[in-house]
Amino acid sequence: MSRIVIDARESGTSTGRHIDKLMEHLHKLKPRGEIILLTRPTRVEFFQKVTPGFKILSSDYKEFSFAEQLGFARQLYSLKPDLVHFMKANQPVLYFGRCVTTVHDLTTTRFRNPAKPFLIFKIKQMIYRLVTVWVAHKSKHIITISEFVKNDLVHFARISPSKITVTYLAADKIIEPALQIDKLEGVKFIMYVGRPQPHKNLQRLIDAFVVLQTEHPELHLVLAGKKDVLYDRFEQYIKKQGIKNVMFTGFISEGQLRWLYENTAAYVFPSLSEGFGLPGLEAMAHGAPVVSSNATCLPEIYGDAAHYFDPLDIGDMATKIGEVITSPALSVELIKKGQTQTAKYSWSRMATQTLDIYNKAIARRKT
């Protein structure tokens, strides 16, 4: 009987949505053999409810740490797996067992985090680049979440495309009842939800919003996401420039997010680099018209269901947003196409493809 260990330590984070949905739908497939999930202590109970047929073990090793390199490797060896699925490129370099790895994108190899000390981050970034190349060659198979990332990894790590399978993510409608944000009652707004890292391009979105305000002074910009040092910097910039009608929500509940999606004049996704772009697809699932950057994977994922702009051109961004919020016909068309687009993606299909990858990787070992 085969034993498959899955690294689910990122469960419960934004990246962890992929892990949680994969585990949920993989469990429904009732795979043969033993499946062991390694996750944070705070997520053990969650998986015991969602995947009662899997064995759930606590694994509290922080990513990019010596504990991950030594303690996590020791834990993996102790389990004697036939296959390990690492859900990110960071993994113990001392683990030489058979594995498959999911690579979400190569953003970390190209963009720096200004909230981190420059020299320390550059050293970590250099190490991450080397580890990514090493992992791409060491893994028996690679999973990416878009064709764009697949092609990007082929060129970055110089590996064969035949070693990579694309398994698209999917978008679900939030099941919690919509919960109104009182300060936005009766307010016309555009929105973004997510992290404020440099590649998310929020500075240009704010500057494009200023341009929009010349013709739409009543318009508001809602930036939703847990506050951190980078969001604080944007707040300071807005205050210094005297920009009006920008709302930082901080952390919001699922019900509040649903209300934002269902009531926004447009969901704007200005990103410079994405592996899939799940928030935009989720916005479509809730009936929001999407105005998106045309960078990296986004046209691949959104198809004709988004109104695209050049993310480096503030004027073009403002123009495209303005076209959507002033044209009911265009907005309705995008909403309709968005519903069609989201229906193309399936968590169940993604889980089936992943299980097939597991089975083939294990079968090759036995032959």
What does the pLDDT look like over 8-48, one tens digit per residue? Answer: 999 988 778 899 999 999 999 999 999 999 999 999 999 99
The tokens for 183 are 């300060």
- pLDDT above 70 for 133: yes
What's the pLDDT score for residue 365? 64
CATH of domain 182-342: 3.40.50.2000
74: β partners? none
Whether residue 58 contacts residue 42, with contact meaning beta carbons closer than 8 Å, is answered with no
Please name which of 59, 66, 17 lies closest in space to residue 38, comparing C-alpha atoms.
59
H helices of the chain, where?
A: 16-28, 44-50, 66-67, 73-79, 118-138, 147-157, 202-213, 229-241, 254-263, 278-285, 298-302, 314-326, 328-342, 347-366
Whether the full predicted model's pTM is greater than 0.95, yes or no, is no
Is 3-170+346-366 a domain of CATH 3.40.640.10? no
Provide the 3-class DSSP secondary structure of residue 291.
strand
Provide the 3-class DSSP secondary structure of residue 131.
helix
Phi, psi (deg, nearest 5) at residue 126: -65, -45
The tokens for 287 are 């009936």
Lowest mean pLDDT among 105-119, 128-142, 218-232, 326-340: 105-119
Provide the 3-class DSSP secondary structure of residue 124.
helix
Numbered ranges of CATH 3.40.50.2000 in the chain: 3-170+346-366, 182-342
Give the separation between CA 153 and CA 161, rounded to whole angstroms: 9
Distances (CA, A) of 338 to 2, 59, 66, 285: 41, 39, 44, 7
**CB atoms closer than 10 angstroms to residue 184:** 19
**Locus of tokens 């834990």:** 75
Please name which of 128, 145, 144, 121 lies closest in space to residue 93, comparing C-alpha atoms.
128
- pLDDT above 90 for 74: yes
The tokens for 182 are 């009182």
